C-alpha cells in the first residue's frame, strides 16, 4: 500500500531516545507510512544509529537528512519541502506512537483528503494509551470539527497529535529569525485557522509523550531570552485574536518590549494594529528596558 502519511521527526542529540520511537514504528499494525528524519546538526551517534536501521528490513521507508543546526522550526520547514505524501505527521524525537496509530489515522485522513475546508485530522497525545493529556468534550460524537482557535471550546487545550495536509504546511512555513532557533508553533496553526481551515479531532490517544528536562517545553524563560522575535511575532498575531481592548494592549506592549530587546523596533511597522501599538509604545519600551535587565542575566 502506498504511503499516505509521512512521520516527520526533527531531532538534535536524541540518539538515546530515538530507539523507542523507532521500535513503536516497527510495531505499527499498518506499515503504510514513511519516516522522515531531519537531523538538526546532532553531535552524538544519531547518524550511525539511523543508518543501521535503514539497512534492516522493517517494511516501511526511512529517509534521513542531516542539516546544519538551526532549530526545530527550520528543520520542520526543510522536511516539509522534501515530503512527497499527502499528509505530514510531526512526531517529536522523545515521543512514540501507539501500535495502531497509522492504521487508525489513515482511513480518517482519506475521508477528508479532498475536502478543501479541512486542513487535516488530529487524535490525542497521552501519558499512556489509556491516559490522554486532556479529557476532551466530545459527547456522543465520533469526532468534532474545529479550527485551532476553537479547540479550547472542546477541552483540547493540551498538545494533540495533528496530521496536516502536506500542501497546507508547505504554504505555511514557520517564520525564522536570524540568530534564533524557535518560533511558537501556535503562529502557524492559528494562521491556518484564520484562513477558515479546520481539523477533525478524534477522541483516541495515538501518541505517547515524554517531556524531557532539556526539552523546548521545559524552560519558557530561556526560550523567551533566546528567541525574542519569535515571541514578538506571536504577540503580534495575538493582537488580532484578542477579544478585548485590554488584551490587545497587553499583547501590543509585549510585542514592543520584545522587539526592543531584540534590537528590531522596525518590526513594529508590521503590527496587526498600528493604533494599539502606538498607544502601547511608551509602556512597551519601559517593559523592554526591564526585559533587557531580566533576560540578559
> 248, 273 in Cβ contact below 8 A?
yes
Same structural domain for residues 192 and 227? no
174-202: average pLDDT: 96
pLDDT surpasses 80 at 295? no
> 268, 255 in Cβ contact below 8 A?
yes
Query: Which region among 79-83, 130-134, 162-166, 234-238 has the lowest average model confidence (pLDDT)?
Result: 130-134
Q: How far apart (Å, rounded) are the C-alpha atoms in residues 134 and 126?
A: 8
Q: What is the pLDDT of residue 132?
A: 86
Q: How many domains does the chain have?
A: 2
Same structural domain for residues 204 and 230? no
Final residue in a domain of this structure, among 181, 208, 235: 208
Same structural domain for residues 178 and 245? no
112 lies in some domain: yes
> 125, 208 in Cβ contact below 8 A?
yes
39-65: average pLDDT: 95
Domain with 81 in it: what CATH number?
3.90.550.10
213 lies in some domain: no
| Span 198-238, pLDDT tens digits | 999 999 999 999 876 555 555 678 899 999 999 999 999 99
234 lies in some domain: yes
Which domain covers residue 272, as residue numbers? 220-295
278 lies in some domain: yes
Instruction: Give which of 179, 189, 277, 272 is closest to 225, Cα–Cα.
Output: 179
Q: How far apart (Å, rounded) are the C-alpha atoms in residues 132 and 256?
A: 37
Amino acid at each position: 500500500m502506498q504511503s499516505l502519511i509521512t512521520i516527520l521527526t526533527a531531532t538534535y542529540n536524541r540518539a538515546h531516545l530515538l530507539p523507542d520511537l523507532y521500535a513503536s514504528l516497527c510495531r505499527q499494525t499498518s506499515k503504510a507510512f514513511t519516516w522522515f528524519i531531519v537531523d538538526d546538526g546532532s553531535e552524538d551517534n544519531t547518524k550511525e544509529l539511523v543508518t543501521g536501521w535503514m539497512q534492516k528490513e522493517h517494511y516501511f521507508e526511512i529517509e534521513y537528512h542531516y542539516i546544519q543546526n538551526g532549530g526545530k522550526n527550520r528543520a520542520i520547514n526543510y522536511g516539509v519541502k522534501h515530503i512527497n505524501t499527502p499528509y505530514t505527521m510531526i512526531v517529536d524525537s522523545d515521543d512514540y506512537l501507539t501500535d495502531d496509530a497509522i492504521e487508525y489515522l489513515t482511513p480518517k485522513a482519506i475521508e477528508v483528503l479532498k475536502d478543501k475546508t479541512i486542513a487535516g485530522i488530529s487524535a490525542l497525545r497521552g501519558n499512556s494509551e489509556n491516559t490522554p493529556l486532556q479529557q476532551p468534550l466530545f459527547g456522543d460524537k465520533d469526532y468534532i470539527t474545529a479550527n485551532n482557535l476553537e479547540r479550547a471550546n472542546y477541552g483540547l487545550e493540551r498538545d494533540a497529535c495533528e496530521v496536516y495536509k502536506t500542501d497546507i504546511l508547505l504554504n505555511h512555513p514557520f517564520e525564522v529569525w536570524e540568530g534564533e532557533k524557535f518560533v511558537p508553533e501556535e503562529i502557524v496553526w492559528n494562521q491556518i485557522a484564520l484562513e477558515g481551515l479546520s481539523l477533525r479531532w478524534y477522541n483516541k490517544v495515538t501518541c505517547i509523550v515524554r517531556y524531557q528536562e532539556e526539552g523546548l517545553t521545559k524552560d519558557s524563560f530561556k526560550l523567551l531570552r533566546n528567541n525574542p522575535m519569535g515571541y514578538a511575532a506571536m504577540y503580534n498575531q495575538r493582537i488580532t485574536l484578542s477579544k478585548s481592548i485590554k488584551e490587545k494592549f497587553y499583547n501590543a506592549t509585549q510585542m514592543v518590549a520584545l522587539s526592543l530587546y531584540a534590537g528590531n523596533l522596525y518590526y513594529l511597522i508590521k503590527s496587526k494594529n498600528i493604533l494599539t501599538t502606538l498607544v502601547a509604545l511608551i509602556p512597551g519600551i519601559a517593559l523592554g528596558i526591564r526585559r533587557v535587565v531580566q533576560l540578559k542575566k
